[in-house]
Amino acid sequence: MPEKEAPIGVVLYHHAKNLAMGNHPLAKYVPALLLLVDSVLCSLIISYVPCKLERPPPSVQTDAKIDRRYRDRLGSIYGAD
């Protein structure tokens, strides 16, 4: 009487168990694969975080204010009087 093969679910379970326990030949690639997946997911999360301010804080001077404040000094330095 021929032996019955195990169902595909049981075979996949044994392969996954051997991979997790380190007995599978491909088990040495698992840490590198996990690190790669983690770095991709982290970069995707970071790319979706908005990084622009709606308004600068009042203590920060804008370029226009700095330009008006130092226009005479810069003009005299560069000879644009």
3 and 12 Cβ atoms separated by less than 8 Å: no
pLDDT digits (tens, 9 = 90+) for 25-74: 989 999 999 999 999 999 998 888 766 656 655 565 555 555 555 555 55
pLDDT at 78 over 70: no
Query: What's the whole-model pTM score?
Result: 0.48
End-to-end CA distance of the chain: 105
